[in-house]
């Protein structure tokens, strides 16, 4: 959760500081929303109305339901009156909006970011007769302090009660936030990472019961500092070796805002070890989760075994422009989450341990296959996907049999609009390894901070290269070589500028073969909509 | 010196790999150049003709002469046939081109980057009867290896002889380069930092005599890795405290290319301590020397006492586009150096130790004062500087008496062309601390990698804020608060689009006062030109 003492635009500071709750938000039912707008992502989560930012409290319950909470201002299309919104999903593509899960206790306080855990063993004592009790750990923000509080849910995470003994941590600071808690099996304790934002310190606390917290250690001044540290995340995840074996290793992620090299918000990560109180990075390197500008404050679902690939979701925006994007005035909502990123570590040799962020398996939501093409040396495809009702497509390009002694050629794709001259493009120069994304020719949003081009370098390895992309109305997700590099990029076609064409061009690949598959995807939201077009979410008959 | 196994554009790889010396370069006289072209910087160093990249071997001699060597291809406007070019200056604004200082020994080898020292005590034994012997330490690149060599000069750095015992370090690697040597007084030895580029290791060697080198330690996997480490620099420099006292501390700078977050090339630095064999960083933070995209491979002059502020010069370009900028076809040269950056460290409190890069005192080259204006709350100035013969101006804006309880307002400047619609702009939002530069409306160079906007965040401190800028035909230098943040940005007006207007606008500053001074600057090159318009450099009558 960002706190905008050093926010990225003057207008933001004003909005965030003063847009406090004046009218209480009605409780007991989800807020309904219209998910049919031309800028609404159809397989990404976005809030029913108004303003969303960081993912919060993400956990997977024992019934296989993913719970996503989020920083939510239900009363404005800018940040301000922060609640914990809530949605659930069985497959991470179809989301059901739930009622707001946690409300700020007073009109002059805000509920900032945090995490949630299932207290299976009732360490907290809140859940004497159940194994599915949920404890949320979050920051309560007031004009004078940021303190860590907890709230507990006996109904599996749908409604919460604030703990009477709050706050559970108060260090007399106004810049102390975003607790993320995990269970550390070896020491039999909970461990929390929480940011002393403007001191560039991630403090680690431990607790037997989620109520009493003890200082473990400080991890400070690592990586890019920006102006503030935010939203630390720490967890164990598998390191997949070249021989297919895997062990687990820890990863600590720290988001910074403002002050990212590209401007605004960004997330960096550090692989390492954790002994219950101290995190030790494997090296001094600074690695970024995304080479674009729209993936901040990512969090991992609690409850996925460490031996399995972990699942992260980030906020697909940037504080430099999140509160000025056109979805607000045009469609009454702002910000979406990234797709779930299926996350593991890999041993990248001399480059050290790197995060791999795969796109999820999209085959369960294929609506239609638009293209399956295979060619050698070069290829040009022009695809009209205006018939795909969701407007959302998935592109999977595999280049194989590359001559590693003379890597050559280019591979590009462009998303076009049949009604305007707009285009969104990306491309790869195989010989140099340069990959680029360009959103500068999408015309619906012009803003000083909404920069257009993003780059990474990724050399062809082992004679093959893969590019996957999802285009979802106003979001582009790119994964290079099954997630070894990844970017989420927002873009905003002008009114009437629906993107409905795809060009794929490969050239000069020599002996290499290129195969292209394109699928139309089912909307995750259309299925949820009522006859009047609104998504009402999980409305209960009792209220 | 970049080695383009993983270069930033396919064309670059080809050029660099194959543009070997076929015709020997004539020796004994400087190459002459025309410095009057509309894109030629007038107070920045640029080569007489053809292609330049990294600064090399920079030292200050006992007579107060600054020696700048540089990666130089005298036979093409792209990199390839790498020599060590040479220029000298008494004031760092007026440069005298010297003859090429060191040539590759064979047609199939190249002289890559490195450093130079004055061997006052004749540790090397090359200089029995003098105190001004110069030893250059550089990388010899061949198809099969990169090795470290030395060459020595008995005439103060103008001509060099390769050491017969070369190489002085050979570890059987093709990715091992850019040695930078300093004298470590406490151990009475020379210390070298040199990059194992694709292993992300900076190796530290020590030597009593510059010939025999021993392993000291490895500093590895720190900061942003990109695809390669290059051009390490280590030196002691003063840390200025708030009370005005200073001590010395070491700084290690590492350049990476490709793979910078903004694309291509960038330089990062680490403050710390050095004991003669081991560098220990003060913290784990990654800090960048520049928030723009045109400052790479910077080096510090050897020979400035550590108690004084040190002087750095970087290459004012980026491998993503250095070999495609329009100065090549239009004017026959490519790349300039940054202005000298007067460098010290400061204790930035919670943010740790930061590099401060002041612009040099420009008053010695003032040609005319164009404006001196003082105002409260707001200000608008439009200045026609077409009368400044150099086309080069210096802008110094000081905002004082800022109400720190309610920081507000904006401050912008725009450089315009009276003949075209082009503009180059920058601005600051005082409340948020956002500073931006935009070169996107300068039209003479359009390239995928030539991105337009750069950002930093710097909060107003102690009620005052300063912005300095130098606009030098195709280079913009910006220093915020006397160099606490800095950026060098190249820009290329279209043919006929000479920049000759300046707009300064302040708005909403409230009680704060803003003072603006603008000066036309003398050309450092016009003074060197002969009647035929060419700069011949230090031509000796004997040859």
- The structure tokens 């002994």 sit at A275
Contact A465, A428 (CB under 8 A): yes
The distance of Cα B468 from the centroid of its chain, to the nearest Å, equals 17
Supply A46's token pair. Answer: 């976005």
Closest CA to B9 of B79, B110, B70, B81: B79
Tens of pLDDT, residues A11-34: 333 334 334 444 557 678 999 999
- Backbone dihedral region of A187: left (phi > 0), alpha (psi from -120 to 50 degrees) or beta? alpha
Neighbours of A53 (CB within 10 A): 27
> If DSSP codes are grouped into helix, strand and coil, which group holds residue B328?
helix
Q: Tell me the C-alpha distance between A190 and A181, whole Å.
A: 7
Q: How far apart are CA A430 and CA B170, in angstroms?
A: 32
Would you call A400 an interface residue with chain B, using a CB distance cutoff of 8 Å?
A: no
Q: Long-range contacts of range A121-128, CB-CB < 8 Å, 24 or more positions apart?
A: A123/A190, A123/A208, A123/A209, A123/A210, A124/A150, A124/A152, A124/A209, A124/A210, A124/A211, A125/A209, A126/A152, A126/A154, A126/A163, A127/A152, A127/A154
Please list every residue in chain B whose beta carbon sits closer than 8 Å to the beta carbon of residue A408.
Answer: 10
Cα separation, B449 vs B428, in Å, equals 25
Interface check for A220 against chain B (CB to CB < 8 A): the answer is yes
Integer angstrom CA distances of residue A309 from A192, A238, A239, A360? 21, 6, 9, 11
Among chain B residues, CA nearest to A7: B432
**A152-169: average pLDDT:** 98
* DSSP H or E stretch at residue B15: helix B10-18
Chain A residue whose CA is closest to B354: A225
Residue of chain A whose Cα is closest to the Cα of B448: A453
Catalytic status, residue A54? yes
- What is the reported pLDDT for A161? 98
Select which of B230, B290, B294, B354 is catalytic: B230
Integer CA distances (angstroms), B136 to A351, A387, A399, B105, B151, in order: 31, 67, 46, 15, 5
Asked if A381 is an interface residue toward chain B (Cβ–Cβ < 8 A), one would say no
**Residues A13, A33: contact at Cβ < 8 Å?**
no
Cβ contact B261–A288 (<8 Å): yes
Q: How far apart are CA B76 and CA A221, in angstroms?
A: 45
Subunit contact A459:B199, Cβ cutoff 8 A: no
B287–A contact, CB cutoff 8 A? yes
Best residue of A4, A195, A199, A221 to probe chain B, by most B CBs closer than 10 Å = A221
Q: Do the beta carbons of residue B420 and residue B410 sit within 8 Å?
A: no
Report how far residue A482's alpha carbon sits from residue A34's, in angstroms, rounded to the nearest whole number.
Answer: 33
Token output for A30: 């989800």
Chain B nearest-CA distance from A351, in A, is 7
Instruction: Out of A6, A200, A454, name the one closest to residue B459 (CB).
Output: A6
* Yes or no, beta carbons of A6 and B455 under 8 Å apart: no
- With pLDDT > 70 as the criterion, what percentage of chain A qualifies? 95
Q: Inspect the interface and report whether the beta carbons of A261 and B262 lie closer than 8 Å.
A: yes
| Contacting residues of A for B264, CB less than 8 Å apart | 455
- In this prediction, residue A2 carries a pLDDT of 36
Q: Give A400-458 pLDDT, tens digit per residue.
A: 999 999 999 999 999 999 999 999 999 999 999 999 999 999 999 999 999 999 999 99
Distance of CA B162 to the CA centre of its chain: 27
| Whole-number pLDDT of residue A363 | 98
Bridge-based pairing of strands A296-300 and A287-288 is unpaired
CA A399 from chain center: how many Å?
28
Tokens of B250: 């070491």
> What is the distance between the alpha carbons of residues B243 and A283, in angstroms, rounded to a whole number?
35
Peptide bond into A258 cis (omega under 30): yes
How does strand A201-207 pair with strand A189-196?
Answer: antiparallel
Please tell me the predicted confidence (pLDDT) of residue B206.
98
User: What are chain B's domains?
Assistant: 38-357 (2.115.10.20), 362-528 (2.60.120.560)
Tokens representing B476 are 């913009």
Torsions phi, psi for A239 (to 5 deg): -100, 115
Q: What is the pLDDT of residues A349-386, one digit of tens each?
A: 999 999 999 999 999 999 999 999 999 999 999 999 99
Q: Of A519, A228, A267, give the one whose Cα is nearest residue A394.
A: A519
Q: How many whole angstroms separate alpha carbon B447 and alpha carbon A505?
A: 20
Mean pLDDT of successive 10-residue stretches along chain B, which has 543 residues:
34 36 69 97 98 98 98 97 98 98 96 98 97 98 97 98 98 98 98 98 98 98 98 96 86 98 98 98 98 98 95 98 98 98 96 97 98 95 97 98 97 97 97 97 97 97 97 98 98 96 97 97 96 94 53
| C-alpha of B148 from chain center | 23
By CA distance, what is B13's nearest residue in A?
A: A432
| pLDDT the model gives residue B541 | 64
User: How many Cα neighbours within 13 Å face the side chain of A53?
Assistant: 29
- C-alpha distances in Å from residue B342, one per residue of B309, B359, B477, B483: 6, 6, 13, 8
Contact A408 B225 (CB under 8 A): no
Q: What is the pLDDT of residues A117-147, one digit of tens each?
A: 999 999 999 999 999 999 999 999 999 999 9
How far does Cα B120 stand from its chain's mean position? 26
Query: Is the predicted pLDDT of residue A491 greater than 60, yes or no?
Result: yes
- Among candidate residues A50, A119, A230, A481, the one labeled active-site is A230
If you average pLDDT over residues A88-95, what whole number do you get?
98
pLDDT of A245 strictly over 90: no
Residues in A closer than 8 angstroms to B320, CB to CB, are: 434, 455
What pLDDT, on a 0 to 100 scale, did the predictor assign at position B390? 97
* Inter-chain contacts counted by CB atoms under 8 A, chains A and B: 155
Alpha-helical (H) ranges within B429-506 are none
Q: How confident is the model at residue A79 (pLDDT cuts 50, 70, 90)?
A: very high
Burial class (CB in 10 A: 0-12, 13-18, 19+), A148: buried
H or E stretch at B13: helix B10-18
Q: Is A230 a catalytic residue?
A: yes
Q: What proportions of chain A, in percent to the nearest 5, are helix, strand and coil? A: 5, 50, 45
Q: Residue A289: pLDDT above 50?
A: yes
What does the pLDDT read at residue A10? 31
């Amino acid at each position: 959760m960002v706190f905008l003492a050093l926010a990225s635009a003057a207008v933001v500071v004003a909005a965030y500081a003063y847009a406090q709750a004046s009218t209480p938000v009605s409780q007991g039912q989800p807020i309904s929303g219209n998910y049919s707008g031309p800028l609404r992502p159809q397989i990404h989560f976005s809030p029913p109305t108004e303003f969303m930012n960081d993912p919060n409290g993400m956990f997977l319950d024992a019934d296989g339901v993913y719970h996503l909470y989020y920083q939510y201002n239900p009363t404005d299309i800018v940040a301000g009156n922060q609640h914990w919104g809530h949605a659930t999903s069985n497959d991470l593509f179809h989301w059901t909006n739930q009622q707001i899960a946690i409300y700020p206790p007073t009109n002059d306080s805000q509920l900032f970011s945090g995490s949630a855990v299932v207290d299976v063993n009732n360490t907290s004592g809140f859940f004497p007769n159940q194994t599915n009790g949920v404890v949320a750990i979050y920051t309560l923000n007031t004009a004078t302090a940021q303190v860590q509080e907890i709230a507990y849910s006996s109904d599996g995470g749908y409604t919460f009660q604030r703990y009477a003994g709050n706050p559970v941590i108060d260090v007399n600071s106004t810049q102390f936030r975003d607790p993320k808690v995990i269970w550390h099996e070896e020491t039999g304790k909970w461990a929390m990472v929480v940011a002393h934002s403007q001191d560039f310190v991630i403090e680690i606390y431990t607790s037997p019961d989620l109520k009493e917290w003890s200082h473990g250690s400080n991890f400070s001044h690592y990586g890019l500092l920006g102006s503030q540290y935010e939203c630390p995340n720490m967890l164990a995840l598998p390191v997949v070796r070249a021989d297919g074996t895997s062990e687990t290793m820890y990863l600590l992620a720290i988001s910074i805002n403002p002050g990212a090299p590209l401007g605004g918000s960004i997330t960096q990560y550090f692989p390492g070890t954790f002994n219950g109180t101290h995190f030790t990075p494997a090296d001094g390197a600074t690695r970024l989760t995304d080479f674009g500008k729209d993936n901040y404050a990512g969090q991992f679902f609690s409850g996925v075994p460490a031996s399995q690939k972990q699942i992260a979701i980030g906020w697909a925006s940037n504080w430099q422009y999140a509160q000025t994007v056109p979805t607000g005035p045009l469609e009454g909502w702002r910000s979406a989450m990234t797709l779930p990123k299926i996350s593991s570590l890999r041993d990248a040799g001399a480059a050290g341990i790197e995060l791999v962020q795969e796109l999820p398996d999209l085959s369960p939501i294929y609506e239609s296959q638009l293209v399956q093409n295979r060619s050698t040396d070069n290829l040009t495809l022009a695809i009209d996907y205006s018939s795909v009702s969701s407007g959302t497509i998935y592109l999977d390009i595999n280049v194989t049999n590359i001559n590693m002694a003379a890597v050559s050629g280019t591979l590009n794709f462009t998303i076009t609009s049949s009604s305007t001259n707009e285009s969104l493009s990306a491309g790869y120069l195989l010989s140099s390894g340069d990959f680029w994304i360009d959103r500068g020719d999408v015309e619906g949003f012009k803003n000083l901070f909404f920069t257009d081009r993003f780059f990474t370098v990724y050399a062809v390895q082992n004679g093959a290269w893969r590019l996957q992309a999802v285009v979802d109305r106003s979001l582009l997700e790119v994964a290079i070589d099954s997630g070894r590099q990844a970017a989420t990029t927002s873009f905003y076609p002008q009114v009437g500028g629906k993107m409905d064409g795809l060009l794929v061009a490969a050239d000069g690949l020599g002996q290499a073969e290129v195969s292209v598959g394109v699928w139309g995807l089912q909307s995750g939201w259309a299925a949820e909509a009522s006859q009047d077009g609104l998504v009402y979410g999980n409305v209960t008959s009792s209220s």
